Chains A and B, each alone.
Chain A
Amino acid sequence: MATARPLNWTWFHRLGSPPYIYELAARLAPWFGWPAALAIVGGLWGGLVLAPPDYQQGDGFRIIYVHAPSAWMSLMVYTTMAVAAATGLIWRMKIAHAVAASCAPIGASFTLAALVTGALWGQPMWGTYWEWDPRLTSELILFFLYLGYLGLRAGFDDTQRADRASGLLAVVGVVNVPIIHYSVTWWNSLHQAPSVMRLAKPTMPPSMLVPLLLMLLGFTLFFVAILLVRLRAEVLNRERSASWVREVLGP
């Protein structure tokens, strides 16, 4: 019978324990899930129904209520992933690597959502689904950074090796994101006609801004809830040969 790994490595003692995390995540998830649902419903109601049409863009701007939070989350999740990966690399905490691994598909999904909603927004705005808008281009590159992370992870059979290599990649990536964003903006400014070719945010009175902030809050809470759920599955998978997992899963 395989023995469970030792449970104490650093002063993150309890956080480093897989069974504790498994149980804690189960307890915490609803506390994020339900508020997330409320915030998102409230934000959608406020943004799609209550907020007045924009002076310039009419009703087309409303997609910002999904696009902007998605884009914001795609970046926030990447940063979270990089911080978790750095924690795992420096303090050798396997839970931190599990968190990073759980973040990646969520972040990639947010990025894809941002790209798709950005393209849908572009159609009424510019007449085409894709213009090389600097923010959308940066978003596309971020998508490839996520794909690279997932691809590197998939290339290793050994979980520990996958964790550490992809963790380093995430840290290198997060350092590069500002550089890439700056260079893409610089590139775009050289070649663009100075017309309104951007996904410009309309000027925001409170009736427009509050639903947007609500959506942002809702998306963040949603991310944490989903992360906790994925983390539980990730932990079960990694510890599958340990005795506590067998007890949890039952006979």
Chain B
Amino acid sequence: MNMRGPALGELAGAAVAAEVSSGGRGAPALEAAQLTLRRDLTLAFRKRSQLVQPLAFFVMVTLLFPLAISPELSRLREVAPGVLWVAALLASLLALEFLFRDDAHDGTLEQYALSGHSLTWLLGAKITAHWLLTGLPLAMIAPLSALSLGVPLGAVPGIVASIVVGTLALSLIGSISAALTLGIKRSGALLPLLTLPLSLPVLIFGARATELAIRGGPLLPPLELLAALAVLAVTLAPLAAATAVRISLE
């Protein structure tokens, strides 16, 4: 062990000594957000098994309905929009569990709050990473479940589009309730209880868009409403989540 190694001041020169008193701001917020995004993606790839769980859950849930209702494709096609979206909603809820859990346990959230950067931006990066890892894969896998429920092939692009936008809104909305329940040990059904009422508009518009995609009707209006919700969530949710995180750190 190098106890008598060069002191840090010598290494970096006079610039460092000046930095001590001024404490330079360093990298701007966007760069910090990008680094955070990349780190979260790296971490997720090193624990790949965790990513599969929400997807497997989604497929399992959609599998339950033919068994519970009827194998007749015509009947399944009628309930397909509801089934797909309820399953997507529940799978997102499941995935929400690990949005903040690790960071809260190991002190990372604390360091985010103390980093000198906007916590809103850092959490925005985290939520984006979470959506890339859970929402997008869900949208990729949804066509398989949809086809198994008798949905025509032509409906698939519309379904994928609605789930892509919808899961983004769900990740954002869910981040608020996930942040609020930080620090509750036996949270149980509290996270779903908090998230579901706030997610109902997404469910309503998303299921309607899916239904119109299947019937071949104009799905742009509900899709636009869904996008509007997502935009609203993008502007407000990270701020609310950041406030909730700060509350949990007090």
Does a CB–CB distance below 8 Å link A and B in the complex? yes
Chain A interface residues toward B at CB < 8 A: 141, 144-145, 147-148, 151-152, 155-156, 160-161, 164-165, 168-169, 172-173, 175-176, 179-180, 182-184, 186-187, 190
A152 B198 Cβ-Cβ under 8 A = no
When the two chains form the complex, which single residue of B190, B198, B247 contacts A172, counting CB atoms closer than 8 Å? B198
The answer to whether A165 and B248 touch (CB under 8 A), given A152-B181, A187-B204, A187-B208, is: yes
**Bound Cα distance from A141 to B203, whole angstroms:** 14
Chain B, interface size: which category?
20 to 34
Contact string against A for B residues 9-47, beta-carbon threshold 8 Å, 1 for contact and 0 otherwise? 000000000000000000000000000000000000000
Closest 3 CB pairs of A and B: A183-B201, A155-B184, A164-B247
B184 A176 Cβ-Cβ under 8 A = no
- Chain B neighbourhood of A145, CB < 8 A: 197
Contact string against A for B residues 183-219, beta-carbon threshold 8 Å, 1 for contact and 0 otherwise? 1101100100110111011001100100000000000
A183 B204 Cβ-Cβ under 8 A = yes
- Chain A neighbourhood of B205, CB < 8 A: 183
A148 B208 Cβ-Cβ under 8 A = no
**Bound Cα distance from A172 to B198, whole angstroms:** 9
> Which of B176, B184, B190, B208 has most chain A Cβ within 10 Å?
B184
B181 A172 Cβ-Cβ under 8 A = no
Whether B106 is near chain A, meaning CB under 8 Å from some CB there, is no
B200 A147 Cβ-Cβ under 8 A = no
**Bound Cα distance from A9 to B77, whole angstroms:** 61
Q: Binding site of A, secondary structure by majority: helix, strand, loop or mixed?
A: helix
- Chain A neighbourhood of B176, CB < 8 A: 172
- Chain B neighbourhood of A160, CB < 8 A: 250
- Chain A neighbourhood of B204, CB < 8 A: 183-184, 186-187
The answer to whether A179 and B193 touch (CB under 8 A), given A161-B183, A190-B208, is: no
Whether B180 is near chain A, meaning CB under 8 Å from some CB there, is yes
Shortest CB-to-CB span from B184 to chain A, Å, is: 4
Whether B118 is near chain A, meaning CB under 8 Å from some CB there, is no
The answer to whether A141 and B200 touch (CB under 8 A), given A165-B247, A172-B176, A183-B205, is: yes
CB nearest to A155 among chain B residues:
B184
B197 A161 Cβ-Cβ under 8 A = no
**Bound Cα distance from A145 to B198, whole angstroms:** 9
Whether B236 is near chain A, meaning CB under 8 Å from some CB there, is yes
- Chain A neighbourhood of B194, CB < 8 A: 148, 151-152, 169
Whether B240 is near chain A, meaning CB under 8 Å from some CB there, is yes
- Chain B neighbourhood of A183, CB < 8 A: 200-201, 204-205, 225
When the two chains form the complex, which single residue of A148, A168, A179 contacts B244, counting CB atoms closer than 8 Å? A168
Q: Given known contacts A161-B250, A183-B205, what 19 new A-B pairs fall within 8 Å (CB)? A: A141-B197, A144-B193, A145-B197, A148-B197, A152-B190, A155-B181, A156-B183, A161-B248, A164-B247, A168-B180, A169-B177, A173-B197, A173-B198, A176-B198, A179-B229, A180-B200, A183-B201, A186-B204, A186-B225
